[in-house]
Structure 1
Amino acid sequence: DAGCERPTNARARVRTAPLRYEILLPMGSYFGTLWSDKVAAVCFLEWGIIHVAAMALICSNSFRGKLTQMYKGLYEKYFTDHKDAHGEYDALEGKWPKHAECVLSQHGLNLGWIGVWSMVVPFYVASGEPYAWMMALVPYMADWGYWICLDLKELVNAPAQAQTYIVSTGFMCAAHSIIVKNPGMFSEQKQMAMYGVPALLFGAGIVQKAASFLFGGSSSERTKVD
């Protein structure tokens, strides 16, 4: 029956093939075969776990209106370096304006889903999916916001600041894996961009730490002095 004839060309077969779960989540090795697969997996896994934990810290306090406790848990370095800050924040306990916690709760939830996203990225990197670079871009861009708002002011401790370098390293390794596993797919210009974009945040972090070491204090404190 001509009406029941199955398509013979490859493109048509792909269109009519049933959607497989593996298309949504490749079920191969999490750590892959290349050294860059393994480094990327460790970095994105660690970054994801840290940010899911950050969600728990923020939301467990913000949903209960315990904003002073939440800030003390986040700004560990700031409260260590500025003992007088404890009194300022303690004075606000129970006096925060109504609904002040809502946007913080939203931020906490966003940290949670992006942490889970980060932990899924290695599946796609290991499988060599070309679009895995765009998936890795998501946690990387989120960390830019963290670096600008918290790291530049040096509000958080060393493990939190290290996430800048961890996600950048993971992103660079992911780019390497994707390029190697898809020979001829990316032009030299695209390859430079795929390596260069992750290096921007890593480099910015190095410059910021060097400036802090040479001139002392956070960028905001140096601006006030000037």
Structure 2
Amino acid sequence: MKNLSTLLKISTMLWIIWGLVHILAGIMTMKGILTDDITSSIAGIADAVDPNTLQLAYPDASGAIIGQHGFNLFWIGIVTFICAFYIWKGNKHAIFLAAITGGLADLGYFLFLDLGGFVKFLPGTVMTIFSSLAIMTSFYVYFKNRKPNISQ
């Protein structure tokens, strides 16, 4: 039982770090949009792309879409950060809420940015690994503790 508690603490620490990184990424992305510097917001996300190739005249709608992305990074980071403290105590709702919000956000990141080759390993890919490990460790504890429903 002590090992299961340790796994929840590991998951908690991973989600805390993941949440803080995404809160910061959201703020930085929105800042670029709010200061009419769409290029810096895009370069901050797609960090493996040569910034000189991003110097374009973007339509205002592009900035709005990227601003929305920054806002989503921000709130998803907050949700997972808050969930982390409940995961420490083994709260099943927090385990699943963090997995759904953070896990699906990183799945999109992995599919479109990692596989697309637009990002470097740090920090984005590492955060995908963090969320995957946090999900696996907390799910392991949850399903290990679940009592089978035996009805006759």
Residues 8 and 88, structure 2, Cα contact 8 Å, conserved in 1 = yes
Alignment correspondent of 2:96: 134
Partner in structure 2 of residue 82 of structure 1: none
Matched with 1:176 is: 140
Alignment-derived partner of residue 144 in structure 1: 107
Match of 1:54 among 25, 29, 38: 25
1:68 to 14, 39, 43: 39
TM-score, normalised via structure 2 length? 0.84
Amino acid at match of 2:41: M
Which range moves more in the overlay, 170-179 or 124-133? 124-133
Tell me how far apart the structure 2 counterparts of residues 48 and 134 of structure 1 sit (CA, whole Å).
15
Distance 1:70 1:122, change over 3 A: closer
Q: What is the one-letter code of the residue matched to 1:142? A: A
Give, in angstroms, the shift of residue 153 of structure 1: 1.3
1:89 pairs with 2:54? yes
Q: CA offsets, 1:21-55, max 9 Å, x none? A: xxxxxxxxxxxx81101210111011111111111
1:43 aligns with 2:14: yes
Q: Distance in 2 between matches of 1:183 and 1:98?
A: 50
Alpha-carbon distance between aligned partners in 1 of 2:149 and 2:17, rounded to the nearest angstrom? 29
Q: In the alignment, residue 124 of structure 1 is paired with which amino acid?
A: Y
Tell me the CA shift for residue 186 of structure 1. 7.0
Instruction: Name the % identity.
Output: 23
Task: Specify which structure has the bigger relative contact order, considering alpha-carbon pairs within 8 angstroms and separated by 6 or more residues.
Answer: 2
Query: Is the 8 Å Cα contact of residues 125 and 178 (structure 1) preserved in structure 2?
Result: no
Q: Which residue of 2 aligns with 1:104?
A: 66
TM-score of the pair, normalised by structure 1: 0.58
Task: Measure the CA separation in 1 of the matches of 2:15 and 2:37.
Answer: 30
Which of the residues 116, 138, 141 maps onto 1:153? 116
User: Conserved in 1, the CA contact under 8 Å of 2:10 and 2:134?
Assistant: yes
Is the Cα contact below 8 Å between 2:41 and 2:66 reproduced in 1? no
**Equivalent position amino acid for 1:184 in 2:** K
User: Unaligned 5+ residue runs, structure 1?
Assistant: 1-32, 80-84, 188-226
SS in 1 for 2:117: coil
**Whole-angstrom CA distance in 2 between matches of 1:186 and 1:62:** 51
Question: Where in structure 2 are there 5+ consecutive unaligned residues?
Answer: none
Which secondary structure state, in structure 1, belongs to the residue aligned with residue 103 of structure 2?
helix
Report how far residue 89 of structure 1 moved.
2.2
SS at 1:34 equivalent: helix
- Bigger mean CA offset, 95-104 vs 34-43: 95-104
Query: Shift in Å at residue 154 of structure 1?
Result: 1.8
CA distance in 2, matches of 1:184, 1:146: 35
Shift in Å, 1:173: 0.9
